[in-house]
Amino acid sequence: MKITFCCAETKSEPWLAGLQSVLPTAQITVWQPGAPLADHAVVWTPPQQFFDEQPQLKGVFNIGAGVDALLKLRLPPQAVLVRLDDAGMSVQMAEYVCHAVIRHFREFDAYEAAMRAGQWSYRKPRRRADFAVGVMGLGVLGERVARALQMFEFPVNGWSRSAKSIDGVRSFCGAEQFNDFLAATQVLVNLLPLTPETRDIMNRETLSQLQPGGYVINVARGAHLVDEDLIALIDSGHLSGATLDVFRTEPLPSDHPFWQHPQITLTPHTSARTLREESIAQIAGKILALEQGYCVAGIVDPVRGY
Ligand code: NDP
Ligand code: OXD
């Protein structure tokens, strides 16, 4: 069995060594133009040339959960595209989102500023019931985040394409329930995949429907958010701020207004990192299962876009 590795911005040696140790009989090599044909590919943002030169692939394994960049390319029609299915990402996402929600709810930024100014000052406790968190996307990551937020007794709403039944989470689904979901939400968390239907979904019209003082946490993709609409709604006072981990252009250009905005907190696309060991174990297990004719979890539906 031949496996080709084509992952941009990724050190290949440890991945190759890790894959080789769990698939000892496989021939695993780093792709370069003109490389021999392989059976399976492990990829992250490969160029179109890669797929053009590997037309017989059976499996394409993305080393991330989001496949928006891959679905812009022409993939071999018979190849199954498999996304990372948690592989240690959901706990990181739960940590990140709970941290952002709690920091906002408990006003820890204001306490930190007061402490730095040498002030011992109390703020009035806020009512948890006034801080309903709405999670857009209740898949592998969104469901874990919704469950984690419940541990802190925030009211939790979730919005997805199909209806969900998650204990304690108020489920909204489809375009027809989107406005009700927004109106019931104070802190909006985005964990949708980027598809033609979800691009620009956080815009002036939708964000205006959040409860006054609303807050936005975007941990999915930058192109879900219309940047200037977010800034306008914060500056008008309708929204109180945002925590953003993903951006339309990454790294975020140095002249982007997000950098300087006092009510916006930024992190560099780090909310849930790909963990090498967990990912290698998952991908190797799935390659073996596919080779033996079994179905595997995490196969992407190219029509749905995730
Ligand atoms: P999943 O595919 O498991 O879940 C996607 C969820 O979104 C599902 O609940 C799905 O609904 C819902 N959804 C999709 N389209 C729509 C729509 N049009 N309307 C309403 N709901 C919709 O994805 P993951 O949870 O694994 O990951 C989500 C995204 O997080 C990734 O696509 C990626 O972009 C991003 N990500 C970001 C990371 C970071 O570090 N910042 C790290 C990892 C991922 P249904 O259940 O009904 O199908
Ligand atoms: C992913 C990501 O999609 O890291 O896994 O953004």
Q: Interior CA angle at 304 toward 88 and 217, to 5°?
A: 50
Tokens 């979890």, residue located = 297
Atom of ligand 2 nearest to the CA of 221: 6
221 is catalytic: yes
Q: What is the DSSP string of 22-81?
A: HSTTSEEEE--TTPPP-SEEEEES--HHHHHH-TT-SEEEESSS--TTGGGS---TTPEE
pTM of the full structure: 0.98
Q: Is 170 in the pocket of ligand 1 (CB under 6 A)?
A: no
DSSP structure string for 115-151: HHTT-----PPPPGGG--EEEE--SHHHHHHHHHHHH
Answer yes or no: is the C-beta of 66 below 6 A from any ligand 2 atom. yes
Measured distance CA(46)–CA(50) in Å, rounded: 6
Per-residue pLDDT in tens (0 to 9) along the chain, 306 residues: 999 999 999 999 999 999 999 999 999 999 999 999 999 999 999 999 999 999 999 999 999 999 999 999 999 999 999 999 999 999 999 999 999 999 999 999 999 999 999 999 999 999 999 999 999 999 999 999 999 999 999 999 999 999 999 999 999 999 999 999 999 999 999 999 999 999 999 999 999 999 999 999 999 999 999 999 999 999 999 999 999 999 999 999 999 999 999 999 999 999 999 999 999 999 999 999 999 999 999 999 999 999
Counting ligand 2 atoms within 8 A of each CB, the residue from 93, 141, 194, 274 with the most, and so the one to mutate, is: 274
Annotated catalytic residue within 204, 269, 276, 304: 269
Amino acid identity, position 291: E
Does residue 158 line the site of ligand 1, with CB under 6 A? Answer: no
